[in-house]
Amino acid sequence: MASTSNQSVYRATTTAPVNIAVIKYWGKRDVTLNLPTNSSLSVTLSQRSLRTLTTASCSANYPAEDTLNLNGQPQEIHPSRMAMLPSPKLSTLPLRIVSENNFPTAAGLASSAAGFAALVRAVADLYSLPQSARELSRIARQGSGSACRSLMGGYVAWRTGELADGSDSLAEEVAPAAHWPEMRALILVVSAEKKDVPSTEGMQTTVHTSDLFDHRAKNVVPERMAAIEAAIQARDFHKFAEITMRDSNTFHATCLDSWPPIFYMNDVSRAAVRLVHDINRAVGRTVAAYTFDAGPNAVIYYEEKDEALVAGTVKAILGASASGWEGPFYEKLANVTAPGVSLDQIDSRVVSGLKDGVSRVILTGVGEGPVSVEDHLVTETGEMVNN
Nearer to a second copy, 140 or 255 (CB): 255
Binding-site string for a second copy from residue 160 to residue 199, where x marks contact by CB under 8 A and - marks none: ---------------------------------xx-----
Beta bridge partners of 42: 21, 156
Instruction: Taking each helix axis as running N to C, give the angle between helix 348-357 and helix 267-283, from 0 to 180 degrees, rounded to the nearest 10.
Output: 130
Residue 213: CB minimum distance to a second copy, A: 9
Pattern of binders to a second copy over 199-238, x per CB under 8 A? ------------xx--xx--xx------------------
24 binds a second copy (CB under 8 A): no
User: Quick count: other Cβ atoms within 10 Å of Cβ 233?
Assistant: 13
Output 56 or 350, the one with its CB closest to a second copy: 350
Give the one residue of 88, 165, 168, 263 binding a second copy; rule: CB under 8 A.
263
Which position among 165, 168, 267, 326 is part of the footprint of a second copy (CB under 8 A)? 267
* Contact of 378 with 98, CB cutoff 8 Å: yes
Pick between residue 17 and residue 27 the one whose CB is nearest to a second copy.
27
d(CA 175, CA 228): 12
Question: Looking at beta carbons, which pairs linking 381-386 to residues 24 or more positions away fall under 8 Å?
Answer: 381/6, 381/9, 382/8, 382/9, 382/57, 382/59, 382/61, 382/62, 382/96, 384/69, 384/96, 384/98, 385/98
CA-nearest of 354, 347, 355, 318 to 333 is 318
Question: For residues 27 and 166, which CB has a smaller minimum distance to a second copy in the complex?
Answer: 27
Q: Among the candidate windows 155-163, 242-250, 303-311, 330-338, which touches a second copy by CB under 8 A?
A: 242-250
d(CA 115, CA 122): 11
Gap between the Cα atoms of 121 and 370, Å rounded: 8
User: For binding to a second copy (CB under 8 A), which residues are involved?
Assistant: 193-194, 211-212, 215-216, 219-220, 242, 245-246, 249-250, 252-254, 256-261, 263, 266-267, 270, 273, 277, 349
